[in-house]
């Protein structure tokens, strides 16, 4: 297997450790998996949803995660275009400077979500 570019390595890290974990957590809420006392009330509330509402819940969580990732990456791109005082280095290289738009890397059939996520988007 060929090694990933720094941009793709960063994207894979974001997808696996932010996007997929966030969606996994929401799915755990739906399945009443979490034992933390602070989560029991919301799990009980979610348990009252019908199947269509549960599907909508996961879609909403997925869209929220994707939107937050986009906005985070866009903010990185913007600050790199001006102050450039926050940098993400992968293998010693600034991934924002390597990309022609880091906030767009996640999308499309060839994007990070399609390549690295366990949770495929149907939107």
Q: What is the pLDDT of residue 116?
A: 96
Which tokens hold the place of 111? 């994007």
pLDDT in tens, 6-50: 999 999 999 999 999 999 999 999 999 999 999 999 999 999 999
- 57 vs 42: CA distance, rounded Å: 13
pLDDT at site 104? 95
Task: Answer yes or no: pTM beyond 0.85.
Answer: yes
Nearest alpha-carbon partner for 4 in 117, 95, 71, 75: 95
Cβ–Cβ under 8 Å, residues 19 and 69? yes
Dist. CA 77–CA 91, nearest whole Å: 19
User: 122: pLDDT confidence band, cut at 50, 70 and 90?
Assistant: low
Statement: residue 123 has pLDDT above 60:
no
- How far apart CA 59 and CA 35 sit, in angstroms, is 24
CA–CA distance, 66 with 31 (Å, rounded to integer) = 22
**Cβ neighbours for 32, distance < 8 A, ≥ 6 positions apart:** 43, 46, 47
Q: What is the mean pLDDT of the chain?
A: 94
CB 14 within 8 A of CB 112: yes
* pLDDT, tens digit, 9 for 90 and up, residues 104-118: 999 999 999 999 999
Q: H/E element holding 93?
A: strand 93-94
- Other Cβ atoms less than 10 A from the Cβ of 70: the count is 16
């Amino acid at each position: 297997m060929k090694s990933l570019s720094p941009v793709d390595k960063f994207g894979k890290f974001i997808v696996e450790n932010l996007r997929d974990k966030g969606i996994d957590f929401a799915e755990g809420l739906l399945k009443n998996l979490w034992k933390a006392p602070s989560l029991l009330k919301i799990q009980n509330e979610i348990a009252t949803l019908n199947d269509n509402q549960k599907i909508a819940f996961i879609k909403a969580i997925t869209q929220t995660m994707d939107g937050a990732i986009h906005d985070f990456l866009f903010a990185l791109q913007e600050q790199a275009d001006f102050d450039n005082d926050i940098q993400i280095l992968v293998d010693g290289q600034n991934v924002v400077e390597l990309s022609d738009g880091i906030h767009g890397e996640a999308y499309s059939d060839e994007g990070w979500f399609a390549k690295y996520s366990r949770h495929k988007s149907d939107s």
